[in-house]
Amino acid sequence: MKKIVLIVFIAISLFACDQENIGTLYEPEAPYVAFSSSIVPENILSADNNYSVIVQIVRSDLSTATTANVLLEMNDNIEGVFDLESNSVTFENGKGEAYIKIVPVVEAASIDPTKAYVFNLTLTGDNVSSLYNKTTYKASFQYTSIGAGTFNSMFFENEWSVDIEKLEVGNLVLYKTKGLYEDGYDITIIVDGENVTVEGQPAWYYDDEYGEVYVSGSGTISGKVLTLSLTHYIPDVYAWDPATEVLTLP
């Protein structure tokens, strides 16, 4: 019986300690500002939002005026393409949320629609939450499914059906062929007028020793038929002879 009482006493003591620790961690004495989420993965870049991304910031105390300061970490994809419209934002009186905007610093036609953009942001200053002072927003262009097309491959000497998605950006039309050569490897084809380009990208898996096979090339479009000359290659290892590949759109 004494053992049972002792165990219960220890459990209650530990619980009380945990409650004290939780109060210390999650109830800061000073008012603070914070990002509302540590990651926001699915932002769409489009003409409707001027190819921008909206970031939400929240605060704990609504009684006084508050300003949040933000830094955007540059990377190879966004440098010279995107930046913060402003490095700070002031909360409106009585409002618990405020917003900053990541905007393009180039014309829309200069934003590469084949890339996924990652924005790492940090709140700075003495009024920042110690837990939620960093966030990552991800943004990309949104494709629309247009159905299944037909792919005739001279390289593999075979023909098969392929699901296709489409995106129009300025004068460019992009077609994303879903798992064109192998599941998990989508191939993006760029059409500019009558000219077609396939930039180097992983297309299928060779083996554990050599890894992924890439594909690149160019071609033309006539009506719904894209005729491509594509080279399959393992970077710095081997390249096959170019092969004629024909994609017929739905």
Q: Where in the chain is the domain with CATH 2.60.40.10?
A: 33-141
The chain-wide mean pLDDT, for the chain, equals 89
Strand order across the beta sheet in which 53-59 lies: 33-35, 53-59, 97-104, 82-84
Asked if pLDDT for residue 219 goes beyond 50, the answer is yes
CATH superfamily, domain at 33-141: Immunoglobulins (2.60.40.10)
**Fold annotation for 144-248:** Lipocalin (2.40.128)
User: Contact, 226 vs 249, CB < 8 A?
Assistant: yes
Q: Where in the chain is the domain with CATH 2.40.128?
A: 144-248
Q: What residues have CB less than 8 Å from 15, skipping those under 6 apart?
A: none
What is the arithmetic mean of pLDDT over 17-30?
Answer: 49
What is the arithmetic mean of pLDDT over 210-231?
Answer: 97
Whether this prediction's pTM lies above 0.75 is answered by no
Asked if pLDDT for residue 123 goes beyond 80, the answer is yes
Q: What is the pLDDT of residue 10?
A: 36
Q: What is the pLDDT of residue 169?
A: 86
Bridge partners of 136, per DSSP, are 39, 120
Q: What is the pLDDT of residue 29?
A: 58
Task: Give ∠ CA 176-180-184 in degrees, rounded to 5.
Answer: 85
Determine how β-strand 53-59 pairs with β-strand 88-90: unpaired
